[in-house]
């Protein structure tokens, strides 16, 4: 059997910290603002994911989604992701999540000034997308995760801007919570100066790239077999 071809580009649905362009582009390109190079820009469209519910992860700044009938999740549909982008995203999300293909419904915002998460209506268009589903339901709170609260109170721990975040880069200025009498990083290593972020900043090692490519080929092969 011939080896499957990997997609040239991927589309994804984001529902948490990656809805913030500052976080998204830091993960994709190690920059903390929207790229000035047009070739690096991604198309970002509001969307909803039916059949899932978003919850806060215990002791964390970020959310997770799990399948729950009768619920929908509002997020962003991002197109034009490269293989390197998706590899970075997989590293960023880590072992707490599994990447799955889902179908999202696109939205159109009523007022462009309100931004990507402003009031919107469904366009009637559906698109396949990759998204990251949380694996451990017991690690989730019943409470819904609030994107506006995240931007206002937590985003600073996820985006580095030069000297403004020098202390955070040094590992000393994270907002911490106590969990079982131990200091806990609420970014899960994904914030500025965290272990995962440092891997992305330093560049992914060849061994990880090769392992990831083999796993991605296997994933695509299994998906093609299910379709056929």
* CATH value at residue 182: 3.10.490.10
With respect to residue 91, please indicate whether it lies within any of the assigned structural domains. Answer: yes
Inside any domain, residue 57: yes
- The CA distance from 196 to 188, in Å, is 8
Nearest to 154 by CA among 56, 47, 31, 25: 56
Which pLDDT score is estimated for 227?
Answer: 76
Q: Would you say residue 144 lies in a domain? A: yes
In a domain, 28, yes or no: yes
Query: Domain for residue 2, yes or no?
Result: no
How many domains would you assign to the chain?
A: 1
pLDDT of residue 81: 98
Q: Is residue 4 part of a domain?
A: no
Q: Which domain holds residue 107?
A: 10-227
Both structure tokens of 210: 């090769």
Residue 141 lies in a domain: yes
Give the strand pairing for 97-109 and 63-81: unpaired
- How many other C-beta atoms lie within 10 A of the C-beta of residue 66? 15
d(CA 55, CA 65): 6
φ, ψ for residue 121 (rounded to 5)? -125, 155
Asked, for residue 54, whether it belongs to a domain, the answer is yes
The pLDDT of residue 174: 41
The CA-atom distances, in angstroms, between 183 and each of 12, 133, 157, 186, 191 are 33, 26, 16, 9, 15
> What are the pLDDT tens digits along the chain (228 aa)?
566 789 999 999 999 999 999 999 999 999 878 898 988 999 999 999 999 999 999 999 999 999 999 999 999 999 999 999 999 999 999 999 999 999 999 999 888 777 778 889 999 999 999 999 999 999 999 999 999 999 999 999 999 653 333 333 333 344 444 444 347 899 999 998 899 999 998 888 889 999 999 999 999 998 888 876
What are the residues facing 43 on neighbouring strands? 79
């Amino acid at each position: 059997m011939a080896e499957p071809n990997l997609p040239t580009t991927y589309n994804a649905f984001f529902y948490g910290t990656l809805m913030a362009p500052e976080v998204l582009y830091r993960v994709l390109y190690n920059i903390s603002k929207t790229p000035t190079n047009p070739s690096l820009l991604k198309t970002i469209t509001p969307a909803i994911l039916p059949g899932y519910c978003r919850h806060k992860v215990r002791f964390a700044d970020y959310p997770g989604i799990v399948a729950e009938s009768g619920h929908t999740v509002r997020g962003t549909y991002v197109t034009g992701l490269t293989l390197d982008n998706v590899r970075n995203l997989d590293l960023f999300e880590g072992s707490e999540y599994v990447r799955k293909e889902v179908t999202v419904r696109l939205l159109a915002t009523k007022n462009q000034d309100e931004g990507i998460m402003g009031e919107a209506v469904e366009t009637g268009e559906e698109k396949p997308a990759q998204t990251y589903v949380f694996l451990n339901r017991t690690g989730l709170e019943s409470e819904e995760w609030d994107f506006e609260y995240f931007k206002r109170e937590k985003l600073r721990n996820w985006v580095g801007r030069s000297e403004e975040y020098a202390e955070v880069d040094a590992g000393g200025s994270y907002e911490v919570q106590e969990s079982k009498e131990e200091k806990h990083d609420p970014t899960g290593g994904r914030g500025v100066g965290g272990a995962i972020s440092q891997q992305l900043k330093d560049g992914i090692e060849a061994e990880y790239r090769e392992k990831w490519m083999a796993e991605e080929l296997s994933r695509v092969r299994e998906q093609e077999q299910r379709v056929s």
